[in-house]
Structure 1
């Protein structure tokens, strides 16, 4: 029986829905954050499993955002806690207001020049919606009320790879709420 255009389109749509469901199911069923990797600007993978046993702060960033000053306060946080085990990963995103016009290593370089940022930077990544990076889909499934609504949203992953919490853009990286949570994780080890 020949396939009509309508049947063919329906079949293609069904396959796309299954693929989208599969990506979502994988993100939701991942046991913890160690299941995920981000790409560095140079293309090599930055596997979260490589930081097993350490708290990881993952922050979606944008160089042209009004909150870009947080690159500098994130650097202060990094200097304070890196030697004690904190890993900090900036995840540049253009999802909010189109505020990340740069690509690749230019993003990290701009943050370094403007704010002294020396922590790790991932490749520019989608952080919301169905095409979001799998880590962000997993985190949204874990903490649906704590998803990014703007640039500089912060996720803290515990030493065990579990998501401790999401912190809004307005949360100061060196403020008591985030510093206390990081301190608890560092003491837990």
Structure 2
């Protein structure tokens, strides 16, 4: 079975995000949306990025429109919103699906490795978070309601 470092994703700018470039780093992978009640979590994600990037954390956002149509914009609109509203400068993938037959391979992998409540594989809503250790092992899945700042201790333990 492939590991997280075997995957790639298109960035919002159209380039390639190679997860192999993150080998040896702790990853926090999050499905995001610009028009969601949890959208202010971008602030907390950016704070984690700012606090821990120098020690080996990489936050990777994956915009997704599967939940209530809360990410309707195109790549340029999403990028401008994230930077303007929250100062996001961590890697952002292009818009993806996280559930179903067209789920991005990163999410197919993470949801299989870290099922949710009662063993459910599906991502339930925007801002579901997945923490991956330096060896590429998925460690923990967090609900959309979990504020990013509460992940600091878990991240610290992996750094």
Report the TM-score, using the length of structure 2 for normalisation.
Answer: 0.93
Equivalent of 1:71, from 42, 59, 66? Answer: 42
Q: Equivalent residue for 1:81?
A: 52
In structure 2, the residue corresponding to 1:117 is in which secondary structure? Answer: coil
Q: CA RMSD for the aligned pairs?
A: 1.2
Please state which structure has a larger fraction of its residues in helix. 1
In structure 2, the residue corresponding to 1:94 is in which secondary structure? Answer: coil
> Deviation string for 1:104-127 (max 9, x for gaps)?
132121011112212111000011
Deviation at 1:144, TM superposition (A): 2.1
In structure 1, the residue corresponding to 2:30 is in which secondary structure? Answer: strand
Query: Do structure 1's residue 105 and structure 2's residue 76 form an aligned pair?
Result: yes
In structure 2, the residue corresponding to 1:184 is in which secondary structure? Answer: helix
Q: Equivalent residue for 1:129?
A: 100
Task: Select the structure of larger CA radius of gyration.
Answer: 1
> Deviation string for 1:47-98 (max 9, x for gaps)?
1110100001111000000111001111111111111110011100001111
Deviation at 1:138, TM superposition (A): 1.1
In structure 2, the residue corresponding to 1:43 is in which secondary structure? Answer: coil
Query: Do structure 1's residue 117 and structure 2's residue 94 form an aligned pair?
Result: no
Equivalent of 2:136, from 136, 161, 169? Answer: 161
CA distance in 2, matches of 1:144, 1:56: 17
Return 5+ residue gaps in structure 2 as ranges: none
Return 5+ residue gaps in structure 1 as ranges: 1-28
In structure 1, the residue corresponding to 2:24 is in which secondary structure? Answer: coil
CA distance in 1, matches of 2:17, 2:25: 14
Query: Do structure 1's residue 179 and structure 2's residue 152 form an aligned pair?
Result: yes
In structure 1, the residue corresponding to 2:31 is in which secondary structure? Answer: strand
CA distance in 1, matches of 2:89, 2:111: 27
